[in-house]
Amino acid sequence: MKLGLIKLSRTFITAGALVLAGPLAGADPPPAAAPQPQQPAADPSDPYGSAFVDPLGFLLFGPTIGVELGHGKISGTVYGRWFSGGLLSQSLFLNSSEKESFDFSYGAGVRGRYYFGGGLSGPHVGAAIEYLHTRVNDPVDLIATNSSYLVPEIEGGYRFPFGAFFVGGAAAVGYAFEIGSSVDNLPGGQNAASFQVVSESKFYASASLDLGVYF
């Protein structure tokens, strides 16, 4: 009886192993994974940055100069603006009836851009934030008004490349948050303490025309 029992057990185990091994041996191999599409690499001949000026600012909110660094589709820019040199700046910020005039007023900002076609050219969108400081002299009351703003904005435009040079246009909208203000006496003035600056936070819109060179 012992021998028979041992035989049966071995036979059962062998049969079970065959049953288990059968489907594995005849199973179809798993399908190969489809190759993932690779993102095209940036062209090594694409520029790595640019330098530019914006002469349209003389008619708007001051001429701008800047330096852009990037490659392919993404870039970052630092720029400065002579705010008091713009005709629209003078029209909106100065009271001509009181013979107000700008002292040196300026802006400085950083901007990021995404170029849909790469190569730092073609259609693009971006976002920027700018610090703006103005100083307005009032010779009638012998005071000077100082105001500081923080201006976040979004923009979009198009850049046309011409070999190593380019021409680009863009439009931007944002909001100018007034973050500080004060009133000082001009030489001979004594009434600054009796004046208070009214908050002038407001929506902002502008345009630019960049003339530049790649490097």
- Flag whether 158 is in a domain: yes
Residue 63 placed within a domain? yes
pLDDT at 186: 95
Per-residue model confidence as pLDDT tens digits over 109-168: 999 999 999 999 999 999 999 999 999 999 999 999 999 999 999 999 999 999 999 999
**Banded model confidence at residue 197, pLDDT cuts 50, 70, 90:** confident
pLDDT at 8 over 50: no
Query: What's the N-to-C CA distance of the chain in angstroms?
Result: 94
| Domain membership flag for residue 7 | no
Closest CA relative to residue 182, chosen from 141, 134, 150 = 134
Task: Report the chain's mean pLDDT, rounded to a whole number.
Answer: 86
Task: Please give the residue that has the higher pLDDT: either 110 or 195.
Answer: 110
Cβ contacts of residue 175 below 8 Å, gap of 6+?
A: 151, 152, 153, 201, 202, 203, 204
Domain that holds residue 168: 49-92+106-130+150-180+200-214
Residue with tokens 């993404």: 74
pLDDT at 64 over 80: yes
70 part of a folded domain: yes
26 φ, ψ to 5°?
-95, 0
pLDDT exceeds 60 at position 57 = yes
Neighbours of 64 (CB within 10 A): 25
Q: How confident is the model at residue 45 (pLDDT cuts 50, 70, 90)?
A: confident
Domain-located, residue 43: no
| Residue 204: inside a domain | yes
Determine, yes or no, domain membership for 82: yes
What percent of the chain stands above pLDDT 90? 70
- Between 153 and 17, residue with greater pLDDT: 153
Range of lowest pLDDT (38-42, 111-115, 127-131, 204-208): 38-42
Report the number of distinct structural domains present in the chain: 1
Is the residue at 65 inside a domain? Answer: yes
What CATH number is associated with residue 126? 2.40.128
